Amino acid sequence: MKIKKILKISLLVIILLVVFRFIYILFCLTKINLWQNKIGEILPDTFKIELPVIRNQRNYFCIRCTVNDKYEADFIIDTKASPLAKMETVNDFNANYLGNFPVSSSNFYGQKEKLPLYFFYSFRIQSLSFKKPLFKGISKSNAMYDLMDNDVVGKDIIEQLFWKFSLDKGKIMLFSNKDSLFLCKETENYVKIEREEQIMNSRITINCLPVLPERQYLHNRR
C-alpha cells in the first residue's frame, strides 16, 4: 500500500510539473505576442514613403533601417521569418536582452535552440518608427549564421504596413495598412489572389524573392 501511495504521489507531482510548464510557456508566448502586436501602434494612420530597392550579394531584397537613432544597416525583407539579428549586431547596436524564447526554434537544418530575444529602444525605416520590435539573436553556433549576410526584418514588422515593389522603377513604396482609400488607388487594375494554389495555377512567378508571402498577392492584369 505504501508503494502504491508513493507512486500516486510521484505521478501527481509529474503531472503538476508538466501542467505548470505548459502554463509557463503559454504565459511567455502570450507576453511575446502582446509585445509584438504593439510594434506598429505608433505609426501614423496615413503615410507614403518611397525607398530605393536594395539587394544584397545573394540578390535578396533589403531595406535601410536606423537603430537606436544612430546606427544604419540594410536588413533582409523576409515575409516568413521572425526578425533576426546576429549577435554582433546585438552587441554593436546596444540591444537590450529580454530573455530566451520559451520554445526551441528549429531552422531548416533541423537544429533546435532556444534563441535569446533582444529589443532596441528605437527602430526606424526612414521616418517610420516602430515600437521596440523583438529580434531573435543568432550566434555563430547556429547554422543560420553563415547564411545571414544581413540581419532580417521579419513578418512581425512587415505586417505592420503595406509594401509595394516596383522593379521597373527600382523603388519600394511603404504606406499605412489603415489607409484603405490609398490601397484602392495603388492597386487599381490589379486582381487580388487569395491562395498560393491560385498563383501556381495561374503560372505567376515572382523572381529574386527569398520567400513568397503567405496571405495574398497582387497581379497586374494590364
* Residues of the chain where predicted confidence (pLDDT) is lower than 50: 199, 203-222
Domain coverage including residue 215: 176-220
pLDDT in tens, 54-70: 999 888 999 999 999 99
Provide the 3-class DSSP secondary structure of residue 20. helix
Question: Looking at residue 148, what is its pLDDT?
Answer: 87
Question: Looking at residue 218, what is its pLDDT?
Answer: 44
| Domain presence at residue 65 | no
Question: Looking at residue 121, what is its pLDDT?
Answer: 92
Q: Is the pTM of this model over 0.95?
A: no
Residue 191 and residue 182 in contact, taking contact as beta carbons nearer than 8 Å:
no
Distance CA 154, CA 76 (A): 8
Distance CA 45, CA 177 (A): 8
| Domain presence at residue 203 | yes
| Domain presence at residue 202 | yes
- Which three cell numbers mark 84? 533576426
| Domain presence at residue 188 | yes
| Domain presence at residue 129 | no
- How many structural domains is the chain composed of? 1
| Domain presence at residue 78 | no
| Domain presence at residue 63 | no
| Domain presence at residue 213 | yes
